[in-house]
Amino acid sequence: MLINSLLLFIEETLPIFILYAYICAWHSFFDVNKKVILLETRQVKPLAIWFFTLKQDHHFFYFCSIALGLLCSAILTHFRPWLGMTLEGIGYEILLIGISLSLTASVIFGQTTNNDFVRKLLFSLSLFLLVLPHASDFIVFFTSIGQTQLHSSVYVGVSVGLGICISISYLLFFVFVNVDKSQPIKLAIALFLAGQLSNIVTVLQQIDILSSSLPLWNTNNLIADRNEYGQFLHVLIGYDATPTLVYLCVFGVSTIIIFTLLMRTKLIEVKSTDQGVFQ
Amino acid sequence: MNNKRIYQISVALLCSYFSITAAFAATVITIDLRNNIFEPSIITISENTKIKLIIVNHGASPEEFDSFDLNREKVIFANSSAILFIGPLPKGTYHFFGEYHPETAIGKVIVTNCETMRIESSEEIAKC
C-alpha cells in the first residue's frame, strides 16, 4: 500500500507541481513588472534567498486557483458517478478531453501574451484545470480507502510523494531560472503540454472513439510505466513504454507546433538586458 | 509533391485506418467486482481481438481498474458499472489490478493464439 499510495500521489500531483515550476520560471523571463538591478551588482544567491524570492504577487493568484480547484474537484467528485453514466458511459472521459484541450490553450495563450494580468489569469486557469481532475481522483482514492481503514502506510506514501514532488518542482524551477536563454523553458513547456495532450489518445482509445493499435516498441524492461521514473518521465516528456503510432504522432506534432508557436511569438524578454538584470 | 497530392494521400491513409478499425468488432466480457476481488480474475482472449470490458462493482466503495500493461485506468463507483475497450493485443500476459485494493483486486488478461475464447479461473492456456 505504501508504494501504491506513493505512485498514486506522484501520478496525480506531479503534473501540478511541474506546471507550477514552469510558470514561475516563465515569470522570471517575461514579467515586465520587475525592478532593474545593474549587471555588476548581480551575484549568485544562496538557496535560502531563492526561496524568499518566491514571494511575488503571482503566487497569490496561483494559490487561490489551486484552492478553488480543490473545492470544485470535491463538487466534481460528488457528481462523478452520474457523469460516468452519461453519454453511454463516456461522459467523464469527454470532460477530461475538454479539460486537457482547455489547459493546453490557456497555457499557450498565457505564454504568448505580453499583458501580465492576462498571463496571470490564464496561468491560474491552467492550474485550476489541472487540479480539477487530479484532485478528484485523489478524493475518490481517500474515500475508498477511508471506508475500510486508513493505513499508516498511506500517510507515509503521501508524505514521501509530497516531498518528491516539491523537490522535483523546486529543482526544475531552480534550473530554468538560472538559465539565461528562454529556449530550454520553452522546449520543456512544449514537451509537458504535448504529453498532457497525448493523454487524450489513451482516453479516446479507452472509449473506442479511436481504435487501439499495437505498440511500436516495448521499453518496460528499461523504464517501466509503473515505477517512479516512468511516472516522472511521462509527466516531464510524455514518456510511454509502449507507445502506439497515433500516440507518437500526436505527441510529435503537438511538441513541434507548441514549440514553434512559443519561439515565433514576439515576447518582451526581461531576464537579461544590456543595461542590467531584472529580478 | 503538390498540396492536392498530399491531401489525396492523407484522405486515403485516413480511410484505410478507419477501415482497419472497423474490421475489429468488439467482444463483450463482464467482470464482477465483489469484496475487492475480480471475478473472473483471469480472462483468456485470442490474439488481435478487441474486447469491450464491462466491470460491475458490487461493493460499497469505489475502485479504480488500472493496468499499466494495457494502458487503461477507470474508476468504478459503488454499485455501478464502467465500460472500457482493450485490444487488439499481441500474444502475452497483461496484468490489471484495483488501484485502491492492490493486494486482493488483481487479475490478468492472457492473449493466446487460440481461435476460441475462454473465460476460466484456471488452466486457460492448457484448455486452448
Q: From the CA of B89, how many Å to the nearest CA of chain A?
A: 6
Average pLDDT over residues A48-57: 53
Instruction: Please state the domain extents for chain A.
Output: 2-278
> Which tens digit of pLDDT belongs to each residue from A1-36?
778 788 888 888 999 999 999 999 888 877 655 544
Average pLDDT over residues A239-250: 91
Comparison of pLDDT for B106 and B117, the residue scoring more: B106
Residue B33 lies in a domain: yes
Which helix (H) or strand (E) element contains residue A278?
A: strand A276-278
Q: What is the DSSP letter of A25?
A: H
pLDDT of residue A39: 44
Q: From the CA of B50, how many Å to the nearest CA of chain A?
A: 8
Measured between alpha carbons, how far is residue B33 from residues A268, B52, B60 in Å?
A: 57, 16, 11
CB contact under 8 A, B82 and A89: yes
Average pLDDT over residues B63-80: 91
Q: Do A32 and A116 contact (CB within 8 A), yes or no?
A: yes
* Mean per-residue pLDDT over chain B, rounded: 79
* Residue A208: closest C-alpha in chain B: B85
Residue B77 lies in a domain: yes
Residue B15 lies in a domain: no
Q: Quote the number of domains for chain B.
A: 1
Question: Residue B11: is its pLDDT beyond 70?
Answer: no
> Which tens digit of pLDDT belongs to each residue from A194-241?
999 999 999 999 998 888 778 888 888 899 888 888 888 999 999 998
Q: What is the DSSP letter of B69?
A: T
Question: Residue B15: is its pLDDT beyond 70?
Answer: no
Question: Residue A48: is its pLDDT beyond 90?
Answer: no
CATH number of the domain to which B95 belongs: 2.60.40.420
Q: Do A15 and A66 contact (CB within 8 A), yes or no?
A: no
pLDDT of residue A264: 82
pLDDT of residue B21: 52
Whole-prediction pTM value? 0.81
Bridge pairing between strands B37-39 and B26-34: antiparallel
Which residues does chain A have within 8 Å of residue B61's beta carbon, measured at their own beta carbons?
143-144, 147-148
Comparison of pLDDT for A52 and A236, the residue scoring more: A236
Question: Residue A185: is its pLDDT beyond 60?
Answer: yes
CA distance A256 to A217: 22
Q: Do A244 and A201 contact (CB within 8 A), yes or no?
A: yes
Domain that holds residue B85: 24-127
CA distance A197 to A1: 30
- What residues contact residue B92 under an 8 Å CB cut-off, 6+ apart? B110, B111
pLDDT of residue B64: 92
CA distance A197 to A254: 8
Average pLDDT over residues A73-94: 91
CA distance B6 to B9: 5
Per the rule left: phi > 0, alpha: psi between -120 and 50, beta: everything else, A89 is left
Q: Which of the four pLDDT bands, split at 50, 70 and 90, describes residue B74?
A: very high
pLDDT of residue A191: 95
CB contact under 8 A, A211 and B50: yes
Average pLDDT over residues B23-39: 84
> Which tens digit of pLDDT belongs to each residue from B79-104?
999 999 988 888 889 999 998 888 88
Residue B4 lies in a domain: no
pLDDT of residue A167: 94
Q: Determine what percent of chain A is predicted with pLDDT higher than 90.
A: 47
ipTM above 0.90, yes or no: no
Bridge pairing between strands B37-39 and B72-76: unpaired
Which residues does chain B have within 8 Å of residue A213's beta carbon, measured at their own beta carbons?
88
Q: From the CA of A171, how many Å to the nearest CA of chain B?
A: 28
CB contact under 8 A, B85 and A143: no
CB contact under 8 A, B72 and A148: no
Residues 39-58 in B contacting A (C-alpha not used; CB under 8 Å): 50, 52
CA distance A52 to A63: 16
* Mean per-residue pLDDT over chain A, rounded: 84
CA distance A58 to A61: 5
Q: Which of the four pLDDT bands, split at 50, 70 and 90, describes residue A173?
A: very high
Which residues does chain A have within 8 Å of residue B100's beta carbon, measured at their own beta carbons?
141, 144-145
Question: Residue A38: is its pLDDT beyond 50?
Answer: no
Q: What is the 3-state secondary structure (H, E, C) of B61-78?
A: CCEEEEECCCCEEEEECC
**How many CA atoms are closer than 13 Å to the CA of A22, on its beta-carbon side?**
27
